């Protein structure tokens, strides 16, 4: 299904008065309002192809109905999200779950929806049908050179698919690790991983990047070979300028100060970008901002401050992406909520009075520094996000519109009630 412009205009029209009143109220207090709206207007967050269906847990999966049955339908879903919020103009593909059999046609279909292709994701954490050697004991870190070679070749193949779609980066997440002390030699595992990544790095086109994701646990519960940002950063540094560290918000031990990690990676030019989500216990892949929106704001505060200090373009300098998995919610609704949460945190960070904050910091005025941040965080910026969407031709209220237009109902009519999308 495709959304017509007049449908969106009509919905916005119904809410115009209320919106205008709310917008005027908050905008009156913001001195850089034009700049804020401009920055919000060009800000986009990529949608992962595996998040458009229900993922489930290891205990079960409860299908939602009308889920995309093919890559084409996943692109259609991202197109719907983008039509509603005008902030999701890219899709990130997972190989082999979403192999583009006809890249020319897939690219054309995406372009029709105003979409392009973000980073491609490799998968050496599962054994595929016809695969010769097993990844049971790891892939790029494996003790057996032949297994490493197979995993390297897979990554190079993923780059090949990505090239056809004009992606510009490959993101690598490894489940390589160990379950018990003594199972492997940490140093050898790291060195094997580095060597393998070097071969993948050598196959990167000139204008490509490789993003190295880290995660402390799962599926291995004693050690993970790329377990934290230090290990990822070490690898990225040794690999070279095209390599950097990808931060998935769920991949930290509880209490970790993620905003500080972000700040330093950015300072070093080694922040690849994000897999946004939220978590309470582990890699829960919950809706962005559903558990700890203040942390999200603090991360964006570091991003805005750090990028401005380096003269970096907010919208394009790093990779902005969601990594989510849905068990009980409608995946499209969840993704719409996540994008809104990210834009809200970004808008709040844009409101921080930086000059006043620097003065407070220089005076060791702890109370005032905290007040300045919380002043921005406690501002209701939702009318700003809505206004930016409106100016781009999107809806004032994406989730409300999704429901009012009965989009899921229409998708169920088109695709059926019992559908299974590939993905996590
Ligand atoms: C796994 O925990 C990581 O977050 C991955 O980024 C991702 O979920 C996976 O690679 C899906 O392809
Ligand atoms: Zn991730
Ligand atoms: Zn995650
Ligand atoms: Zn994860």
Pairing mode, if any, of strands 243-248 and 209-213? parallel
Atom in ligand 1 nearest the alpha carbon of residue 323: 8
Say how many Å lie between the CA of residue 167 and the centre of ligand 2: 18
Answering whether pTM is above 0.90, one says yes
Q: Which of 3, 2, 17, 1 has its CA nearest to residue 396? A: 17
- Specify the DSSP element, H or E, that contains 120: strand 120-121
- Specify the DSSP element, H or E, that contains 136: none
Say how many Å lie between the CA of residue 215 and the centre of ligand 2: 8
Terminal-to-terminal C-alpha distance of the chain: 25
How far is Cα 246 from Cα 323, in angstroms, rounded to an integer?
A: 12
What are residue 275's phi and psi, to 5 degrees? Answer: -110, 100
Instruction: Check residue 418 and give its pLDDT.
Output: 78
Average pLDDT, the chain: 96
Residue with tokens 């060597």: 195
Q: Give strand ranges (E) for 209-253.
A: 209-213, 223-224, 243-248
* CA angle (386, 392, 394) in 5-degree steps: 60
Contact 113, 162 (CB under 8 A): no
Joined together, the tokens standing for residue 46 give 């990529």
How far is Cα 170 from Cα 159, in angstroms, rounded to an integer?
A: 7
Q: Which of 381, 333, 421 has its CA nearest to residue 85? A: 333
pLDDT < 50 regions, the chain = none
**Topology of 5-415 in CATH?**
TIM Barrel (3.20.20)
How far is Cα 177 from Cα 182, in angstroms, rounded to an integer?
A: 12
Instruction: Give CA 245 to chain center in angstroms.
Output: 13
Residue with tokens 């695969």: 131
Instruction: Check residue 239 and give its pLDDT.
Output: 98
Say how many Å lie between the CA of residue 255 and the centre of ligand 2: 19
Around ion ligand 2, which residues have CB less than 5 A away?
248, 275, 323
User: 214: Cβ below 6 Å to ligand 1?
Assistant: no
User: 323: Cβ below 6 Å to ligand 1?
Assistant: yes
User: 141: Cβ below 6 Å to ligand 1?
Assistant: no
Instruction: Check residue 421 and give its pLDDT.
Output: 67
* CA angle (357, 361, 365) in 5-degree steps: 100
Query: 14 Cβ partners below 8 Å, 6+ apart?
Result: none
> Whose Cα sits closest to atom 9 in ligand 1?
173
User: 50: Cβ below 6 Å to ligand 1?
Assistant: yes
Say how many Å lie between the CA of residue 299 and the centre of ligand 4: 18
Q: Which of 158, 84, 144, 70 has its CA nearest to residue 114? A: 84
User: 285: Cβ below 6 Å to ligand 1?
Assistant: no
Residue with tokens 């990690």: 261
How far is Cα 177 from Cα 157, in angstroms, rounded to an integer?
A: 23
């Amino acid at each position: 299904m495709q959304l017509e412009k007049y449908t969106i205009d009509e919905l916005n029209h119904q809410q115009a008065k209320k919106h205008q009143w709310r917008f005027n109220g908050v905008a009156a207090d913001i001195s850089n309002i034009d700049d804020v709206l401009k920055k919000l207007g060009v800000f986009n967050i990529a949608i992962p192809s595996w998040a458009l269906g229900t993922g489930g847990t290891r205990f079960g999966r409860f299908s939602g109905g009308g889920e995309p049955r093919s890559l084409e339908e996943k692109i259609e879903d991202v197109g719907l999200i983008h039509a509603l919020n005008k902030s999701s103009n890219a899709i990130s593909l997972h190989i082999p779950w979403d192999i583009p059999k006809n890249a020319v046609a897939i690219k054309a279909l995406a372009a029709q929806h105003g979409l392009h292709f973000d980073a491609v994701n490799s998968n050496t954490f599962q054994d595929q049908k016809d695969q010769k050697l097993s990844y049971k004991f790891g892939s790029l870190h494996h003790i057996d050179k032949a297994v490493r070679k197979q995993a390297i070749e897979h990554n190079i193949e993923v780059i090949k698919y990505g090239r056809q779609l004009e992606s510009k980066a490959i993101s690598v997440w490894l489940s390589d690790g160990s379950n018990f002390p003594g199972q492997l030699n940490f140093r050898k595992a790291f060195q094997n991983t580095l060597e393998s990544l070097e071969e993948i790095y050598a196959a990167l086109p000139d204008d490509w990047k490789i993003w190295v994701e880290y995660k402390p646990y799962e599926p291995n519960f004693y050690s993970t070979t790329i377990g934290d940002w230090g290990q990822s950063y070490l690898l990225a540094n040794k690999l070279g300028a095209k390599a950097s560290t990808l931060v998935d918000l769920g991949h930290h031990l509880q209490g970790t100060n993620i905003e500080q990690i972000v700040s330093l990676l950015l300072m070093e030019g080694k922040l690849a970008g994000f897999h946004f989500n939220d978590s309470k216990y582990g890699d829960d892949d919950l809706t962005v901002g559903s558990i700890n929106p203040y942390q999200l704001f603090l991360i964006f505060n570091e991003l805005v401050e750090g990028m401005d200090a380096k003269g970096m373009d907010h919208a394009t300098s790093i990779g902005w992406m969601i990594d989510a998995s849905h068990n009980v919610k409608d995946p499209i609704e969840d993704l719409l909520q996540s994008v809104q949460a990210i834009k809200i945190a970004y808008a709040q960070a844009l409101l921080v009075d930086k000059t006043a904050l620097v003065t407070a910091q220089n005076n060791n005025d702890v109370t005032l520094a905290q007040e300045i941040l919380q002043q921005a965080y406690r501002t209701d910026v939702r009318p700003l996000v809505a206004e930016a969407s409106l100016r781009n031709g999107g809806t004032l209220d994406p989730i409300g519109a999704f429901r009012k237009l009965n989009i899921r109902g229409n998708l169920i009519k088109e695709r059926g009630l019992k559908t299974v999308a590939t993905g996590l």
